[in-house]
Structure 1
């Protein structure tokens, strides 16, 4: 099993810039930071998981700024943040509809990704909106510049006029991104299938004893051989993909890293020691074959991607071609004596 990291959503706030001074950590909304002795003193912060909103006034009122997962050495509302709120919306597959006129009238534009409206016919034309999914930042200027309005899922704003005189000024829209999710991958060994087995001769040694006495075949008691196992992973359906990388732990020594856009395979090399002591009877030929059993097998893999406490399950398949099983086969057969009398 492999887990990328904890899915806890949290914000750590600091008294001074660059994460210095006193600090506090929160995992849920704080309507009034003065009640926890940290009002109007935040100068830097760190976010883990879902984004957070920082408000100028208590009870989530007044000007607000959004902070996604990461380290923010400085904040916009320097020493002015009075309340904190966690963004709990599902931020995957965001969608917002902008309307040309107030009250959702006129030409409309459906947006599902970050868009610079300067490059379209809808620049500085929006006067109302409806948010179908996600949380959006509506910027006054292109390239995420200037003042922005925070539009949350399920909300409607029928008229931009009263909102800081925002009517016909929206030039850029950006959907907030969720933090990195927890990814758990489990190989379901109880459903392992052996697809094929075959035996491969990796070494062959011959010894001939033409004397009338038993001879020791070799002075060494063993030999070491390398065995190779090829591991690979693929999603069950060709359409299934996840944007996060994760580790697939095959055994304590093998860790298969699955990354989007890369061939999901690895090779491990092991050494096996094979015992070689053998006696050759008089007038006999000894043939020793070192045989590797190559097994091709597969097992389903369950992958659970959890973001903001909401799990999504996809399935893959672990596949291996392994030659770990190495043993020896001894064959003794008589040879003709010099007088052409064969030993039976």
Structure 2
């Protein structure tokens, strides 16, 4: 989504280093001045000589939350999801601690209740919501997080008092002490991971399946009107019907988003599988290709062929020469390793190769 659970202006997409999940703090606007790279939690930035220094920041991968005092002792937080924040404005020179969100964030779900102890009216939410449009605004007294991590805010637009609600938590709001959310909750926002990154591609060539089909390209009639047997030769040009193609098919429940890219090279293929392919298909795979989800998921190349028909035709007879295309399709299971924030998950895909370069000729004598 283009919106974020923070109230600070964010540029996204932007120029980010996606090699890992991290937070980069800068002591100048527009990412100028001194900087500090964080890949793990830092409860006290003074230890790293960067307390109250941050004026702009970049988040790559998982969300982070920052606090204004060490160890987040006062409970005041601000959340930053993936993107570039060129000017923190009111939050400039106040960040004293930072923590990454390590949990998986797909399929968020939270249950809120109007009474303590998970009692009273229950409402379930799986998206960002403004409770001002609901029948439980400023009435929630407890919650249960089923999936994800949620930012709870006392005012609309992720403003006011804020708390993070994590998976597995079943809380009465009285546990928040003086800043209790009891009958104050007005806004819910599920945190989201940054752009998924494919960090590994494995083609399971040992489990590849293949099928063969045949298609009639043309039928040539070779006539011999003489009284003696003749060897007749005809050259037939085949163009548009022949070629090779490759395509990637992702899982229906893929975590990859449009625009995610990754490369596939010949080194991903088992040699025994690769050697059994036609020279035209091997040529394509040797060059490698780049997949961009939702943009470039298939490729094709036409191949021209000359088919030479040689028929020994009896006297005063006709030979029917049927030019056949043998189509070979290979379906190769693929395992993609995908980094989501600080998590690496595996998902299935399929790589399909179609080889339409094999031609044969079948003859039939007609008298």
Answer yes or no: same fold by TM over 0.5.
yes
What is residue 339 of structure 1 aligned with on the other side?
none
* Structure 2 CA distance for partners of 1:56 and 1:179, relative to 1, 3 Å: same
Aligned residue number for residue 338 of structure 2: 305
Q: 2:154 aligns with which of 140, 148, 170?
A: 140
Contact 2:61 2:342 in 1 (8 A): no
Q: Do the aligned residues in 2 keep the contact of 1:186 with 1:302 (CA within 8 Å)?
A: yes
Contact 2:64 2:98 (8 Å CA) reproduced: yes
Specify the alignment match of 2:58 in structure 1.
46
Secondary structure of the residue aligned to 2:34 is strand
In the TM superposition, residue 192 of structure 1 has moved relative to its aligned partner by 2.4
Q: Does 1:74 align with 2:87?
A: yes
**How far is the alpha carbon of 1:288 from its aligned partner?**
9.5
Shift of 1:300: 2.1
Instruction: Kindly provide the CA deviation profile for residues 67-116 of structure 1, in whole angstroms up to 9, marking residues without a partner as x.
Output: 01111122252101111111112222333333323454543434333222
Q: Deviations over 1:102-161 (max 9, x none)?
A: 454543434333222112110011233343443211122223344422223344344177
**1:186 to 2:202 alignment:** yes
Contact 2:61-2:193 within 8 A present in 1 as well: yes
**Maintained 8 Å contact 1:103/1:158:** no
3-state SS, counterpart of residue 18 of structure 1? helix
Q: Distance in 2 between matches of 1:151 and 1:265?
A: 38
The answer to which structure has the higher strand fraction is 1
> 1:263-274 counterparts in 2 under 5 A?
266-272=298-304, 274=306
Q: Distance in 2 between matches of 1:203 and 1:248?
A: 42
- CA distance in structure 2 between the partners assigned to 1:325 and 1:85 by the alignment: 59
Match of 2:351, SS? strand
Q: In structure 1, what is the equivalent of residue 70 of structure 2?
A: 58
- Which residue among 94, 100, 105 is the counterpart of 1:91? 105
Q: How many residues of Structure 1 are paired with residues of Structure 2 in the alignment?
A: 321
The TM-score normalised by the length of structure 2 is: 0.69
Q: How does 1:196-275 map to 2 (within 5 A)?
A: 196-198=212-214, 200-201=216-217, 225=239, 227-234=242-249, 240-245=252-257, 246=260, 247=262, 249=264, 251=285, 252-259=287-294, 266-272=298-304, 274=306
Instruction: Flag the structure with larger Rg.
Output: 1
Structure 2 runs not aligned, ≥5 long = 1-16, 227-232, 266-284
Does 2:328 align with 1:315? no
Summarize the Cα distance change of 1:33–1:145 in structure 2 as closer, same or farther, 3 Å threshold: closer
Instruction: Find the counterpart in structure 2 of residue 340 from structure 1.
Output: none
Q: Residue 52 of structure 2: SS of its match in structure 1?
A: coil
1:172 Cα deviation from its structure 2 partner: 1.1
Q: Which secondary structure state, in structure 1, belongs to the residue aligned with residue 71 of structure 2?
A: helix
1:27 to 22, 26, 39: 39
Q: Please give the alpha-carbon distance, in whole angstroms, between the structure 2 residues aligned to 1:44 and 1:123.
A: 34
Contact kept in structure 1, 2:323 and 2:362, CA below 8 Å? no
Does the aligned pair in 1 maintain the 2:21–2:342 contact within 8 Å?
no
Correspondence for 1:16: 28
Equivalent-residue separation in structure 1 for 2:145 and 2:208 (angstroms): 46
1:330/1:234 CA distance change after superposition, 3 Å = closer
Cα deviation 1:2-37 (Å, max 9, x = unaligned): xxx956210011111221111121111112212222
Structure 2 partner of 1:169: 184
SS of 1:81's partner is coil
Greater Cα offset, 248-257 or 14-23: 248-257
